[in-house]
């Protein structure tokens, strides 16, 4: 191929501009990214060579080599991995076929200090070389191709790049950085080795550098022709737990997750039995920006007999634990395992179940022994964990014990076990209420009788809570009962005198109830005298089996049609407004007052009026009259 000049994809040009002009908070990440890319190229060769052993050519030993030329001001990262053809070089280095590119740009422009995290996370690490280089040259040949099919790619990181065919005997890739002025600090063996040790110590292949010796005559370190490892070149998860420090565990987490924070917790285990595998799993301290994308690939890397297979093996972890990062290395899966086989494999199912139990066990330990740390976890990932109630029937009880809520007795951190331990004598149910916000839940009139009697109610304000309640019916033998559904039955918590008074009030209000049913026939499914209100004139509740108003509003906000169902209006016959309603003369005035009471009940419940103008008109007429 003659030398060709091609233009970068538009998004790549934007990334190059940002990388070149904005990312200076952590320059050394360029070496982390390029060494990581070189390691990936070796992993890909190892994988492809399973079916095509000829790809090994005459180089069975894989490694990455890093060296520099102080006079030419270049740093070279060399691998003997899979290499690239001319077409692949153009595709991989000139375009980014990744759906998250625009999201990456938005994040990077919003907070340029997060470059160390975002660059690796979005797979654009190659371009980080332009942080320190004003020109990058890539010389490569794909494994199995003829020496005459080598490729040279070159760019100054502006709008264009050049590609040409070259003669190249060696398989693999050289990435040559031509350093810009002021970046000479990286032309140091000590500097490069320290960066490799910091970021690449746990790669499962050696990263080699030229050996340095002391020259007495020159009083300086000089390179020899020998190569020596700059990293430990042993996969961390294959080592004994007793030989690994907490610092090493944290460094490995940062390497695989591109997270600048230490993990919140981790677990490292070797599982033996019918299915053998090693797992090293981490729970991050903070939620990623794409946590709510349920289609997002998982964060668990799959190895088979220490051979890298894939870095987003979602089949190894349930969707509700998609925030978990780590490595699983199986001794039983076939080396050529595909995503399709993963979905069907019995061994994968065993690994998934075992890993899920380990993660839940890790969270249980934190919840029991590090309550403040668990509170941090719950604030970041609690909503996602609730998804597991409907997805993981086998672990439903364990998950329920991990849940935390706000309540009428506490602002946060209330477990079901805490609630049960504080239940009133004679109380059978766990009372809950769902609302759009904590303030809306606390001010709900439906809580009045519970507040009066000192009965605790859990306040559920996450969007997933309504869905969770449709799958979680009881805890420790106590049913979960919504205070906004059906009639309130306090059972033994209500004495005989209170029951008699309620029955007498209902009997006396029968004429009023019938008038209200007629007046509100198109708006209310039923009208009845309440046993749950103390200070408010009325409230609306959903009938047993009907959808709550809160869930109906969420569905509408999501653009979905909610099943049509009318609420039940409950009135407090002791309230002055209801007494005024009872004494209203004339059907028109009564209808206006009835609709005002109903609309106020809708507003108090957090609902939206279908005809706000009619409500205002009626209130104005009441105020003037």
pLDDT > 70? residue 100:
no
Residue 466's DSSP bridge partners are none
Mean pLDDT of 353-369: 95
Residues 6+ apart with CB under 8 A from 259: 117, 253, 284, 285, 286, 325
d(CA 150, CA 460): 62
Over residues 599-619, mean pLDDT: 88
Residue 622 CB burial class (10 angstroms; 0-12, 13-18, ≥19):
middle
Residue (of 127, 128, 107) closest to 118 by Cα position: 107
Query: In this predicted structure, what is the pLDDT of residue 120?
Result: 44
- HSE of 433, CA atoms in CB hemisphere, 13 A: 29
Q: What is the three-class DSSP state of 368? A: helix
Q: What number is the average pLDDT over the span 327-351?
A: 81
The confidence band for 296, taking pLDDT boundaries of 50, 70 and 90, is low
pLDDT value at 97 more than 70: no
CA angle 389, 393, 398 (to 5 degrees): 65
| Cβ(576)–Cβ(586) below 8 Å | no
How many CB atoms within 10 Å of residue 554?
19
* pLDDT tens digits along 185-239: 999 999 999 888 877 777 778 999 988 776 666 666 677 788 999 988 788 898 8
- Section 349-353 average pLDDT: 92
What does the pLDDT average to over 482-510? 77
Alpha carbon 177 to chain centroid distance?
35
pLDDT at res. 118 = 44
Rounded distance between C-alpha atoms, residue 362 and residue 625, angstroms:
66
Strand 307-310 relative to strand 277-283: parallel, antiparallel, unpaired? unpaired
Rounded distance between C-alpha atoms, residue 251 and residue 265, angstroms: 13
pLDDT digits (tens, 9 = 90+) for 151-188: 999 999 888 899 999 999 999 999 999 999 999 999 99
**What's the CA gap between 415 and 418, in Å, rounded?**
5
- Does 115 have pLDDT greater than 50? no
Name the β-bridge partners of 283. 265
Structural domains in the chain, CATH included, are 4-229 (3.30.565.10), 236-375 (3.30.230.80), 404-492 (3.40.50.11260), 494-624 (1.20.120.790)
At 41, the pLDDT band (50, 70, 90 cuts) reads very high
Tokens standing for 445?
A: 């009139």
How far apart, in whole angstroms, are the C-alpha atoms of residue 502 and residue 380? 45
DSSP 619: H
371 in helix, strand or coil?
helix
CA dihedral for 579, 584, 587, 588, sign (positive or negative)? negative
Task: Say if residues 173 and 41 touch (Cβ distance below 8 Å).
Answer: yes
Q: Which of 298, 295, 239, 299 is nearest to 263 (CA)?
A: 299
Q: What percent of the chain has pLDDT over 70?
A: 85
Coil, helix or strand for 572?
A: coil
pLDDT level of residue 431 (50, 70, 90 thresholds) = very high
Q: What is the pLDDT of residue 200?
A: 79
Give the bridge partners for 540, in sequence order. 569
Chain centre to alpha carbon of residue 514? 52
Given a cut of 70, whether residue 615 has pLDDT beyond it is yes
- Rounded to the nearest integer, the mean pLDDT of the chain is 85
Distance separating alpha carbons of residues 159 and 110, to the nearest angstrom: 23
Environment class of 140 (CB within 10 Å of its CB; exposed 0-12, middle 13-18, buried 19+): buried
What distances in angstroms separate CA 183 from CA 134, 177, 513, 566, one per listed residue?
A: 10, 11, 83, 71
Instruction: Name the maximum alpha-carbon separation found in the chain.
Output: 114
């Amino acid at each position: 191929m003659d030398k060709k000049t091609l233009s970068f994809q538009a998004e790549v040009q934007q990334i190059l501009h940002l990388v070149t002009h904005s990312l200076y908070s952590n320059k050394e990440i360029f070496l982390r990214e390029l060494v990581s890319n070189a390691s990936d190229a070796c992993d890909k060769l190892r994988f492809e060579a399973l079916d095509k052993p000829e790809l090994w050519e005459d180089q069975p030993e894989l490694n990455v080599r890093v060296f520099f030329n102080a006079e030419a001001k270049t740093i070279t990262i060399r691998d003997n991995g899979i290499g690239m053809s001319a077409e692949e070089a153009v595709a991989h280095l000139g375009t980014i076929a990744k759906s998250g590119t625009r999201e990456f740009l938005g994040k990077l422009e919003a907070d340029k200090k997060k470059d160390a995290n975002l660059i690796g996370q979005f797979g654009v690490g190659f371009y980080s070389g332009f942080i320190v280089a004003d020109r990058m040259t890539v010389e490569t040949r794909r494994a199995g191709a003829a020496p005459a099919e080598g490729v040279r790619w070159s760019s100054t990181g502006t709008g264009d790049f050049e590609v040409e065919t070259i003669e190249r005997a060696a398989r693999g890739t050289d990435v040559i950085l031509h350093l810009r002025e002021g970046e000479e600090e990286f032309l140091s063996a000590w500097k490069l080795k320290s960066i490799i040790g910091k970021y690449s110590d746990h790669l499962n292949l050696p990263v080699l550098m030229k050996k340095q010796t002391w020259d007495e005559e020159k009083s300086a370190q000089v390179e020899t022709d020998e190569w020596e490892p700059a990293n430990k070149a042993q996969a961390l998860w294959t080592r004994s737990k007793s030989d690994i420090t907490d610092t090493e565990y944290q460094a490995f987490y940062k390497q695989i997750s591109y997270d600048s924070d230490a993990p919140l917790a981790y677990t490292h285990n070797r599982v033996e039995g019918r299915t053998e595998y090693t797992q090293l799993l981490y729970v991050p301290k903070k939620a990623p920006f794409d946590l709510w994308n349920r289609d997002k690939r998982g964060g668990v890397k799959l190895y088979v007999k220490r051979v890298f297979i894939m870095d987003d093996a979602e089949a190894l972890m349930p969707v509700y634990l998609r925030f978990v990062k780590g490595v699983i290395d199986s001794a039983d899966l076939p080396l050529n395992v595909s995503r399709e086989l993963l979905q069907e494999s019995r061994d994968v199912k065993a690994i998934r179940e075992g890993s899920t139990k380990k993660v839940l066990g890790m969270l249980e330990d934190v919840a029991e022994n590090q309550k403040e740390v668990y509170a941090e976890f719950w604030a970041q990932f609690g909503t996602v964990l609730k998804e597991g109630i409907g997805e993981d029937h086998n672990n439903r009880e364990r998950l329920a014990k991990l849940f935390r809520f706000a309540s009428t007795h506490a602002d946060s951190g209330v477990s079901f076990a805490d609630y049960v331990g504080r239940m009133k004598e004679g109380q059978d149910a766990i009372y809950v209420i769902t609302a759009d916000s904590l303030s809306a839940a606390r001010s709900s009139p439906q809580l009045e009788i519970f507040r009066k009697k000192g009965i605790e109610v859990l306040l559920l304000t996450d969007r997933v809570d309504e869905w969770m309640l449709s799958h979680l019916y009881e805890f420790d033998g106590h049913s979960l009962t919504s205070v906004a559904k059906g009639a309130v039955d306090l059972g033994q918590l209500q004495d005989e005198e209170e029951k008699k008074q309620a029955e007498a009030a209902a009997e006396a209000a029968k004429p009023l109830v019938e008038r209200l049913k007629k007046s509100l026939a198109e708006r209310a499914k039923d009208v009845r005298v309440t046993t749950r209100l103390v200070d408010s004139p009325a409230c609306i509740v959903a009938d047993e089996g009907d959808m709550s108003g809160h869930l109906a509003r969420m569905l509408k906000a999501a653009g979905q049609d909610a099943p049509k169902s009318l609420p039940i209006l409950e009135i407090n016959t002791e309230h002055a407004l209801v007494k005024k309603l009872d004494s209203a003369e004339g059907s028109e005035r009564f209808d206006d007052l009835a609709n005002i009471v109903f609309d106020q009940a809708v507003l108090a419940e957090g609902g939206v009026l279908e005809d706000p103008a009619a409500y205002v008109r009626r209130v104005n007429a009441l105020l003037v009259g």
